[in-house]
Amino acid sequence: MKLTIDRLGHLGDGVAQGPEGPVFVSGMLPGEVVEGDVVGDRMTDPKIETPSPMRVKPPCSHARSCGGCLMQHAADGFVADWKLGIVQGALQGQGLTTVFLPLQTSAPRSRRRATFAARRTKSGTLIGFHARGSDTLVAIPKCQLVHPDVMAAMPGLEELVRLGGSRSAEVSISVTKALGGVDVDVKGGKPLDGGLRMELARVVEAHAMARLTWDGETVALRAHPVQMMGRAMVAPPAGAFLQATEDGEAALLAAVKTALGDQKRIVDLFAGCGTFALPLAEGAEVHAVEGDAAMVQALDKAARNTDGLKKVTVEVRDLFRRPLEPDEFKGITGVVIDPPRAGAEAQIACLAVARPPVIAMVSCNPITFARDAKVLVGAGFTLDWVQVVDQFRWSAHVELVARFTAPHIARNKAK
């Protein structure tokens, strides 16, 4: 069957109109004419008859087999417009429009955390990513996405898998670039006993890893796996949330700072280990609220060990069940809110009543962002601008910062 791709779906697949409904075609771009067999709603063996002018040669030699990146066949400019369009579309769906600041994309080979799948094989080990929509593991020695410091950990990871992996089941290995060496978190490995623990610790030493955690247990801590957040040195708990790239984090922080201006009393909601709270505390008092106690502890310890910060207070709190109430924002002049993908329905309802002067909202889900934005705009806030930050290069993932100003601030700006 011959079809023309009309658009991209939300996972980056090409979508064409077939005789019996939409047909999904992986690795295609709008305007391309493709021919192949259609099974169900998917073209299985597409051949491109007319390529898009936006099609490029994938920069990574693993692009055909590896499922880690989905958009390497598209020019950067196309991906940027596509991601802007996703956010614009989500806002339009809620009847909203705004100004878009220039999009920023993270560089290749800048992802500071990767979660690899791995297993032992007859001849050694296999570590990599899964092929698209399949259990097949693909080795990725020339990966163009992951930071070289993470890739450099491979020989040590191979030893870990040889010792504590199996041939029948995969282990998952999260590797995070940190000061002091990589921070390695293994899940699904062999149960720890005295002998295995000692051998794993030897690998950590030999390969100068910072820390190894094995199914939730710290096996070796050679150095604290530190991240810089502004001037503060933070040692996040194993597996804690971190922004995906250092330049992406810098772009998000710059946008948050621009949004807040010189506000001096800030609440950071869904604060994680302090990505925004700690740098902001260099110029403002910050109250950081987060649901994960270990992350709050890391933030608090870093704040107490950093000279020259303004007052930082912390709170462990489930903001879905127990959002900060309107009267808790008394005296607060700026709010940062960076919820998980589900958004922050309950907290946004309270912010709509509290009406702090400025809200910097960070979001990794345009749909829940637009839903929450509509509530704020309905309460009189102005959505001044949105900046899309593409720190998930070559994926369908979108990240953004938006500024909302409360009614009286919006009036003053207009004067």
Ligand X SMILES: C[S@@+](CC[C@H](N)C(=O)[O-])C[C@H]1O[C@@H](n2cnc3c(N)ncnc32)[C@H](O)[C@@H]1O
- Find the part of the chain contacting ligand X (CB under 6 A) among 5-13, 15-23, 52-60, 272-280: 272-280
Name the residue type at position 46: P
By CB under 6 A, is residue 235 in contact with ligand X? Answer: no
By CB under 6 A, is residue 246 in contact with ligand X? Answer: no
Give the integer Cα–Cα distance in Å for 151 and 145. Answer: 10
Note whether 138 and 130 are within 8 A (CB).
yes
Footprint (CB under 6 A) of ligand X, residues 326-355 = 338-340
- Contacts of residue 331, Cβ cutoff 8 Å, sequence gap at least 6: 265
Task: Choose between 321 and 415: whose C-beta lies nearer to ligand X.
Answer: 321
Note whether 58 and 72 are within 8 A (CB).
yes
Footprint (CB under 6 A) of ligand X, residues 281-300 = 290-292, 295
By CB under 6 A, is residue 318 in contact with ligand X? Answer: yes
Give the integer Cα–Cα distance in Å for 89 and 106. Answer: 23
Q: How many residues does the chain have?
A: 415
By CB under 6 A, is residue 392 in contact with ligand X? Answer: no
Task: Give the single-character DSSP code of 408.
Answer: H
DSSP per position, 137-179: EEE-TT-SSB-HHHHTTHHHHHHHHHHH--SSS-EEEEEE--B
Q: Please pick, from the candidates 203, 319, 386, 398, the single residue that binds ligand X as defined by CB under 6 A.
A: 319
Task: Choose between 213 and 243: whose C-beta lies nearer to ligand X.
Answer: 243
At residue 293's C-alpha, the angle toward residues 292 and 298, to 5°, is 105
By CB under 6 A, is residue 243 in contact with ligand X? Answer: yes
| Other CB atoms within 10 Å distance of the CB of residue 367 | 18
Instruction: Supply the minimum distance, in Å, between the C-beta of residue 256 and ligand X.
Output: 9
- Report the DSSP beta bridge partners of residue 314: 288
By CB under 6 A, is residue 27 in contact with ligand X? Answer: no
- Find the part of the chain contacting ligand X (CB under 6 A) among 28-36, 146-154, 201-209, 314-322: 314-322
CA 313 distance to own-chain centroid: 26
Placement of tokens 């878009």 in the chain:
100
CA nearest neighbour of 403 among 347, 342, 337: 337
Instruction: Supply the minimum distance, in Å, between the C-beta of residue 336 and ligand X.
Output: 7
Task: Choose between 75 and 346: whose C-beta lies nearer to ligand X.
Answer: 346
Helix 366-378, helix 76-93: angle, nearest 10:
40
Instruction: Supply the minimum distance, in Å, between the C-beta of residue 386 and ligand X.
Output: 17
Q: Which residues are catalytic?
A: 364
Name the residue type at position 298: A
Site string for ligand X, 178-217 (x = CB under 6 A): ----------------------------------------
Task: Choose between 241 and 385: whose C-beta lies nearer to ligand X.
Answer: 241
Task: Choose between 7 and 397: whose C-beta lies nearer to ligand X.
Answer: 397
Instruction: Supply the minimum distance, in Å, between the C-beta of residue 240 and ligand X.
Output: 7
By CB under 6 A, is residue 275 in contact with ligand X? Answer: yes
Grouping H, G, I as helix, E, B as strand and the rest as coil, residue 373 is helix
Q: Please pick, from the candidates 78, 270, 392, 394, the single residue that binds ligand X as defined by CB under 6 A.
A: 270
Q: Where on the chain is the footprint of ligand X (CB under 6 A)?
A: 241, 243, 270-272, 275-276, 290-292, 295, 318-320, 338-340, 364
